[in-house]
A and B are shown apart, each in its own frame.
Chain A
Amino acid sequence: MLRESATFDRAAIAEIQRAAREGIYDIRGFGAKRRVPHFDDLLFLGASVSRYPLEGYRERCSTDVLIGTRFAREPVQLDIPITIAGMSFGALSGPAKEALGRGASEVGTSTTTGDGGMTPEEREHSTKLVYQLLPSRYGMNPTDLRRADAIEVVVGQGAKPGGGGMLLGHKISDRVAEMRDLPAGIDQRSACRHPDWTGPDDLEIKIQELREITDWRIPIYIKIGASRTYYDVALAVKAGADAIVLDGMQGGTAATQEVFIEHVGIPILAAIPQAVESLVDLGMHREVQLIVSGGIRTGADVAKALALGADAVSIGVGALIALGDNSPAFDQEYRAIGSAAGYYDDWQAGQDPAGISTQDPELAARLDPIEGGRRVANYLRVLALETQTLARACGKSHVRNLEPEDLVALTVEAAAMARVPLAGTSWIPGSGSLGA
């Protein structure tokens, strides 16, 4: 009888063999693939005798949200609480970035630049565009800063808290190189630390500078990877953030070491309650908006994130899949490059048959930005509709009114992390301060 080792399973054996053969760690895109406690481990209770539901096809359930109300003169008004996460031109093709802008604009939400600056196409097709300030400062300039609808200071991301970025040489086309002030074809490293500030006190002054440059007009978000969330959120608030973007370990990446993706950071399910507790302790919950990301796939995920206290969510991987990533239509081509539809994660390689994670002009031309934008808009609409469906079932006339009391957990782990009772009990494991 053949018996597979639980410790040295086929994936572990294959990785040892690959490492011995190639002598370099595995770099890939996508996000964490291991199973971690997630929104699937929560359920809504819905309404019955003790709670009063809203009629799904008649009674209004609003979805709008205002981001950046703390200091900015012009907060970002979103029609749905689902935004598109930061992804760079460079990691993604020009048509992919344009499609994301078109899709987000069609449903009244924002999209976000990435590590590489703002392209004219992206600005033109995004009615609300968040401009990231990253450690590398590739493409950063004051003109685009003033053309942005918000600024996102990126401290970290869920796939790699504490790590910088990289864009391998085969994706550094002439245009990407020019935008990043680098020679074409080299492996571009993005620093893990900002060049001109080194701690929360400096960050506060950095934010002051950004506000002065933009005359206090637009909001400033701070994006963090979920790790020591309670303290990081508190420090971000202290530094003057209008909004916190919190990215769990399942969050996507264009190119990161596998060991980093799978072994650093905490699940978004565990991070949201810590962030909310931090904001509540500071009297800033709902004053400083909380946008969460990392594994949002469905309206159920959106609704559960909101119920735990987030003001909005952000999606990256889901949006790329909506664009056509991992589509069965490309299965033969995925197989030709050693993958398959549903498994493709070599976003770093630039060979994407779907034309999304590539700078190859022929591959990129496969993605029609208008059609892609329509698919993204469709997906966002479905997420919003599903979120409303669940909110109405819980008797809420606005999705922001969802609350932890609407939730129970299916596992002890999820109950402890989300701080909601295990289903059928009143037991919330691990009481006490989340921040300790």
Chain B
Amino acid sequence: MAETLSSTLTFDLAAEGVRELNRMLHDPQLIAPTPQPARLTVLNPGGKHAIAVGIDGPWEVEIDGHVGYYCAGMNQHATVRIRGNCGVGVAENMMSGQVIVEGSASQAAGATARGGLLVICGDASARCGISLKGADIVVRGSVGHMSAFMAQKGALVVCGDAGDALGDSLYEARLYVRGKVAGLGADCIEKEMRAEHLVQVSGLLGAAGFEDLDPADFRRYGSARRLYNFHVDNAGSY
């Protein structure tokens, strides 16, 4: 049972299950009457999977420890802060809201996310932002190989380095990397950093709380758009 400590609820995953937690977060009665966001602290997450998934309301959730797969998956409107590391697919298919990972993230962070902001204060592993569909991702550290694979819309800002095959088969997503890029994927090229891109990076760094970094230090990567329509002359690219 959730307990109320001042105006913040607490939920102890050592005492009750993920199913009860999510059911509570899906309960419209808990968020409907209050003009302020409902606040919840989750204790003892213990690396459990599917914590705080499918939220559809203005919750502010803090998770005090490490989480497993798909934490904050398909989030809508909520702000979810993870005070630890997270497993595969954090904030996958997020629609809106914010997810902040204070540690590092495993593979496929922000996969297919459509809206909102994912901030990773540590590193992100392979396939960060895979099939991104409109959300923004800011990674303070580095990202692994195949990040932004087939990314369609949105932005991936990497303050550290990027692994191999960055932006492979990219569509219209924008990629910004401050450090080294081990290699670009098929149809991904470096592009000019124009004023509008500096503004975008500056805004995203500010939203992520990384104002200490200079947007001018980032380089932009995007799609060459050579593979948008299949042509046999490009067969070697596949």
Contact = CB atoms under 8 A, between A and B. Distances in A.
Interface in A141-171: 141-143, 145-146, 168-169
Given A23-B232, A142-B95, A186-B228, A216 B74 contact: no
A136 B131 contact: yes
B114 A141 contact: yes
Interface of A: 22-24, 136-137, 140-143, 145-146, 168-169, 180-183, 185-187, 189, 191, 195-197, 202, 205-206, 208-209, 212-216
Given A24-B230, A183-B228, A145 B74 contact: yes
Contacts of B108: 195-196
B92 interface: yes
B168 to A, nearest CB: 11
> For chain B, what secondary structure do more than half of its interface residues adopt (helix, strand, loop), or is it mixed?
loop
Contacts of B155: none
B84 interface: no
Given A141-B93, A142-B76, A191 B69 contact: no
A205 B70 contact: yes
Interface of B: 18-19, 22-23, 26, 49-50, 53-54, 56, 68-70, 73-74, 76, 88-89, 92-93, 95, 107-108, 111-112, 114, 127, 130-131, 133-134, 149-150, 152-153, 169, 171-172, 228-230, 232
A99 B218 CA distance: 51
B49 A209 contact: yes
20 contacts: A137-B131, A137-B133, A142-B54, A145-B74, A182-B171, A183-B172, A186-B228, A186-B229, A189-B169, A191-B131, A195-B131, A196-B111, A197-B89, A205-B49, A208-B50, A209-B70, A209-B73, A212-B18, A212-B53, A213-B53
Contacts of B149: 195
Contacts of B111: 137, 195-196
A165 to B, nearest CB: 13
A209 B232 contact: no
Contact of B112 (A22, A23, A196, A202): A196
Contacts of A209: 49-50, 53, 69-70, 73, 89, 92
